[in-house]
Amino acid sequence: MQRPDVRSPVRRALGRLREPAVHTDLLQVVKATIATVVAWVLADTWLDLEQAFLAPWVALLTVHATVYRSVLRGGQSVVATFLGVLLAYAVFELWGYGPLSLGIGVLVGLLIARLPPLRLEGVAVATTALFLLTLGGTSEESQLVDRLLATAIGVLTGIVVNLVVVPPLDDRGAEHQLDLIHRRLGALLRRMAAELDEGVDDDGVRAWVEETRGIDAEVDRAEWLLDYSRESQWWNPRRNRSSSASDADLGSEVLVRLEEGVAQARAIARTLEESVVEAEDWDPRFRDPFLRLLDQVGRRISDPEAHLHSLQEEIDALAHELSAQDLPGLRWPLYGSLITSLRHVVTIVDDVASTLARP
């Protein structure tokens, strides 16, 4: 009896640790920890604020994935906290302490949080009023100043740490994701060629369609990573020493073409799924060159930057040659559809290669 390979989960975990997205996440964890500790030291040890706990709390929430987001949401946190202080003052002056004032403070705070300029951090209006109305921090001006100062320390600490400690500027995640899509799409086309050659049933063809849906999910993730890569460059001091916005734009162009390639691969699978013709029954004059071209297209799309010749002329030659042959009439709709879809894939691969070769 063969023992299960217990090392495979470990290998997968180690492989995940090498992914750029994981590196970025771990770096954010480290930076958030540093910002939290520094904010606590500043507020508690150096300034001896009564509500020093707010500084590390706000600092932890301020360290976001990008410098731009840290500054934007940090500024919103300060404004929201200030509004919460004013709200707590007003509610206390009108109704004093008690369930009624607490309910009104939270209600009004949550309504203010819905305003577009505060939508990301607006809930701090309600939470600030909640803390002050329950901890009794509205009656003494020193406590209010203490709270605002602690909040400002937390925000500034989070922003400074995010700026100083390796500001996030990561296009590796998007590049890795695009490479993954290339590999999966290329592997699918080669798999289709191999299984058609060996003989495939309806379940096998449906599995191809499901694989295209899985690649579509990878495309959606790549789109998100490209948006993140573009945002990470805003207000980032490392921008001039690393990739520019044009890299993300280039990636977007490649992604659009890859998405079309996935659609064409699905079209090939759908054509075969709806056809009653088995691959072994195809005319050899079509079957052999088509399967060979399908495999070669898969290899080319797996590595579009490799110096491989275009297959456009070979596909056009196959279509021209078959049009002059006396093939069974019932086969032509199938053959023509498969050749057309494969030709579209080749055009897409050539466009991707040209885009990537652009200086």
In the prediction, which pLDDT does 98 show? 82
Confidence tier at 9 by pLDDT (50, 70, 90): low
Taking the C-alpha atoms of residue 106 and residue 129, their distance in angstroms, rounded to an integer, is: 7
- Residue 156 to residues 41, 43, 142, 332: CA-CA distances in angstroms? 14, 12, 21, 69
Is pLDDT at 276 greater than 60 in this prediction?
no
Is pLDDT at 3 greater than 50 in this prediction?
no
Tell me: the pLDDT tens digits for 306-350?
555 667 777 777 777 776 665 555 566 777 788 888 888 888 877
| Residue in the block written with tokens 């275009």 | 310
Taking the C-alpha atoms of residue 156 and residue 26, their distance in angstroms, rounded to an integer, is: 22
**What integer is the mean pLDDT of 11-19?**
54
Across 14-23, 95-104, 316-325, least confident range: 14-23
In contact, 255 and 223? CB cutoff 8 Å:
yes
Is pLDDT at 12 greater than 60 in this prediction?
no
- Where is mean pLDDT largest: 158-162, 273-277, 301-305? 158-162
In the prediction, which pLDDT does 7 show? 47
**What integer is the mean pLDDT of 43-69?**
79
Q: What is the share, in percent, of the chain residues with pLDDT greater than 90?
A: 3
* Arithmetic mean of pLDDT over the chain: 75
Nearest C-alpha neighbor of 266 from the set 210, 337, 333: 210
Q: Dihedral of CA 18/19/20/24: which sign?
A: negative
Is pLDDT at 37 greater than 90 in this prediction?
yes
CA 11 to chain centroid, in Å, comes to 24
In the prediction, which pLDDT does 4 show? 44
Confidence tier at 198 by pLDDT (50, 70, 90): confident
In the prediction, which pLDDT does 40 show? 92
Confidence tier at 38 by pLDDT (50, 70, 90): very high
Tell me: the pLDDT tens digits for 200-254?
777 888 888 889 898 888 888 887 777 777 766 666 655 554 454 456 666 777 7
- Where is mean pLDDT largest: 69-78, 134-143, 230-239? 69-78
Q: What is the share, in percent, of the chain residues with pLDDT greater than 70?
A: 72
Tell me: the pLDDT tens digits for 143-191?
667 777 887 888 888 888 877 775 555 556 677 778 888 888 889 989 9
SS3 60: helix
Confidence tier at 256 by pLDDT (50, 70, 90): confident
Here the tokens at position 344 are: 């579209």
Taking the C-alpha atoms of residue 200 and residue 287, their distance in angstroms, rounded to an integer, is: 14
Confidence tier at 10 by pLDDT (50, 70, 90): low
* pTM exceeding 0.75: no
